[in-house]
Amino acid sequence: MIEHYVVAASSYAKDIDGLFDFMFWLVGFWFVLAEGVFFYLIFRFRAKQGVKGEYITGEKKSEMRWISWPHYLVLACDVAIVVMAVKVWMNVKQELPEADATVRVIGQQWAWSFAHPGPDGKIDTADDIETVDELRLEVNKTYHFRLSARDVLHSFSVPVFRLKQDAIPGREIVGWFKPIKTGTFDIQCAEMCGIGHGLMPARVVIEDAAQHAAWVAEQSQHKVASLSAKPGAE
């Protein structure tokens, strides 16, 4: 149902959507059943002239089962939900698959900065490509992100990936995603971070291999040009 509103652009987006759909139908069944019985009882037992209520304590075994059986069933549904939810959670958050590349994501008041690996394919080297409010990714590649914050809490939220992770100053949190669709999508901050919280929109651009390589090449040329320009000026 979520994919009706938001494109599923990561490898695990459909797992989260599937979990939602599973829970929606399971929980929806209980909800409709409970509300149905509830409204039926209100209608059936509305006050009628000369008809007194019944005296039911609800403490006899034969009466108790009306609530004890449903409650065992609820427990069984709960177990199913927990198993499914934990499975998805472990895949998205707990396990870290091998990465093809790593990006650095830094939240600050009020912008996102990103560091992409340059031509050498590694981050934290001199040829890193740094951008503000724009994350460039190559489709069908598994990425690790190294997330941190400069000042206050932020939350790196990419709805099309179904990914959200708080960024904490003084800590580096590592997670992963694998884009599976090309396109340009929103990145939001999901944790209150001050007056500019609603004003730090960023975009994620997912390209195919050729486009991405071209972008990397172009950016590193800029970088080389600006680096070589500087000492020359002095």
Partner 1 sequence: MADSSFKPDRASEEGAEQGADSQPGASVPESGPTRAQAEPAPAHEPEESPHEPDAHEPDEHGGHGGHGGHGEHPQSFFMKYLWSTDHKMIAMQYLFTGMAMALIGAFMVYVFRMQLAFPGMSVPGFGTVSPAEYNALVTNHGAIMIFWVAMPVLIAAFGNYLIPLMCGCDDMVFPRINRLSYQIFLLSSVVLICSFFVEGGGFGGAWTAYPPLSANPQYSLTPLGATLWVIAVALEFVAFLLGGINFITTAMNSRAPGMKMYDIPIVVWMIVVASILFMASVGPLVAGAVMLVFDQTVGTGFFDPKRGGDPILWQHLFWFFGHPEVYVVLLPAVGITGEIMTVFARKKLFAYPVVLYTVFATGILSFFVWAHHQFIAGIDPRMANIFTVTTVLISVPIAEMMFVYIATLWGGSIRLTTPMLWALSFVGEFLVGGVTGIFLGASGTDIYFHDTYFVLAHFHYTFVPIAIIGTFAAVTFWFPKMFGRMMDERLGKIHFWGTIIPFNMIFIPLFVLGAAGDHRRIWSYENFPELARPELQDLRVLATISMLVMLSFQLVFFYNFIKSLMSGPKAGRNPWQANTLEWTAPSPPPHGNFATLPTVYRGPYEYSVPGRDKDYWPQDAPS
Considering only residues 61-80, where is the footprint of partner 1 by CB under 8 A? 63-64, 66-67, 70-71, 74-75, 78
Strands 183-189 and 202-207: antiparallel
Residue 135 amino acid letter? L
Q: Is 138 exposed, middle or buried (0-12, 13-18, 19+ CB in 10 A)?
A: buried
Residue 35 touches partner 1, criterion: CB under 8 A = yes
Residue 14 touches partner 1, criterion: CB under 8 A = no
Stretch that binds partner 1, among 31-39, 115-123, 134-142, 206-214 (CB under 8 A): 31-39
Taking the complex as a whole, the smallest distance from the CB of residue 113 to partner 1 amounts, in Å, to 17
Residue 180 touches partner 1, criterion: CB under 8 A = no
d(CA 38, CA 33): 8
- Give the DSSP H or E segment for 100: none
Q: Is 107 exposed, middle or buried (0-12, 13-18, 19+ CB in 10 A)?
A: buried
Alpha carbon of 132 to those of 113, 115, 120, 180, 223: distances in Å? 4, 9, 21, 23, 15
Residue 197 touches partner 1, criterion: CB under 8 A = yes
Stretch that binds partner 1, among 17-25, 112-120, 211-219, 221-229 (CB under 8 A): 17-25
Residue 203 in 3-state DSSP? Answer: strand
Residue 176 touches partner 1, criterion: CB under 8 A = no
Taking the complex as a whole, the smallest distance from the CB of residue 218 to partner 1 amounts, in Å, to 24
Write out the binding residues for partner 1, residues 127-166 only, by CB under 8 A.
151-153, 155, 157, 159, 162-166
Residue 45 touches partner 1, criterion: CB under 8 A = yes
Closer residue to partner 1 (CB): 112 or 128: 112
Residue 177 touches partner 1, criterion: CB under 8 A = no
Stretch that binds partner 1, among 58-66, 119-127, 209-217, 221-229 (CB under 8 A): 58-66
Strands 163-167 and 154-158: antiparallel
Residue from 25, 55, 230, 234 in contact with partner 1 (CB under 8 A): 55
Residue 174 contacts residue 146 (beta carbons within 8 Å): yes
Residue from 97, 119, 121, 194 in contact with partner 1 (CB under 8 A): 194
